[in-house]
Structure 1
Amino acid sequence: MTEDYAARVQGEAILKERVAHFLNAGSTSPSRGAGNCATSHNGAARADRQRQRWATQVVITDELARRACAQRSLAPPDDVLPTQLLTVPETDIADLGSIIAAALAHSPAARALLADLERDQDIPETAVQDYYTRNRDRFLTPEALRRGVDPFAPAEPSDVLPYDHVREDIAHELRHAAARRAFFNWLDEARADVEYAEGYEHPGDPTHQDHEHRH
């Protein structure tokens, strides 16, 4: 008898039906790089298998995030994975990888966990100051930009926004980046013990012939 689960999380079955529902209920396909793996000499069948493996990872990430939210006593998300795939911005795919970008787009639990991780981040003042010092080109005044000041040349102090004016924005950006790194680390650890059924392995798992090292 064929097993009806795609994976097991701490011994609990994640049914194939749940993966199929996420992947097939809507007519919209994942955006380029977000699980819609380009076909090669193996053709459409190979691409379909990879999309199934990609969808499994998104579902697993949602499941693990729900458990993490419960452990952190976060309010349980009211929504579930949508019945239609959303278009994931290419910039998010480039920054996060397609699986995490899609999970954050689709899973309220994943977004809640990321927000909680961001609240956990303590960015030292020295880190904020160092970022400001090393990236003066990002803080040119509107007047300097209108004059066409070269952002890659040494700037006059008057051409740069004062530190106090941009400090909070820098700190927020650094907290957000640190939270994303924490989310990556959490996910790597959380899914280390997940057991996958044949055909539902991670798309980058080198033990299956269709593997692609793409996240």
Structure 2
Amino acid sequence: MARISRRLAVTLALVASAATMAACSGMSASGEGRTITYHADYPAYDSANNLFQKADVVIEATASAAPARVQELKPDTTSDDPKLNPAAGAPAEQTAEADPVVISVYRAEVKKVYKGAVQPGQTIEIQQLGGQLDGITYQEAEAHPLKQETGYVLFLQTYPDAPAALLNPVQGQYPIDAAGKPSKLPENPVALTADDLKRISGAN
């Protein structure tokens, strides 16, 4: 099991803030049908205010489709710069055995903007760790993949040359319920209301 640091690599679209990640795989003889599970640590937030302050973009958006694409990130394994090579500094034997890092990229239509340089009606790309590639399933232990045609309030980090990323898989997304209100995921200790969003964003 290799443990690597996940940092922004713009040229690779590798984005996760100050997180560490390990990957565990269930092997099969051919590789087909195996599952690789990532275990990552993310910053946690104790209030809606802190989520809002940390995010570059806060929006209400609808995931319009299944992942637009699934891709493997290919770091520059010759570099000592952790921005280009997340495995920089790891022992050579661990680097050689490390499983690939795979992301799914979703498209979401912006409905409301509470923070950030985006506009209602705009479509943005959002990446999440994991996906199916070449017959192998890659998954993050605590991930909640965005659901098709579901509305969310999203707290995102954005990058010049890469899809946006949730602040963390659990606290970065609040599904919109049947009453049109944001609801927290079960693992998330921080509730969020429409009034909270108005207050912290200064929206009328």
Both structures adopt the same fold (TM-score exceeding 0.5): no
Q: Greater helix percent: which structure?
A: 1
**Could you tell me the TM-score, scaled by structure 2's length?**
0.22
Q: Greater strand percent: which structure?
A: 2
- Structure showing greater radius of gyration is 1
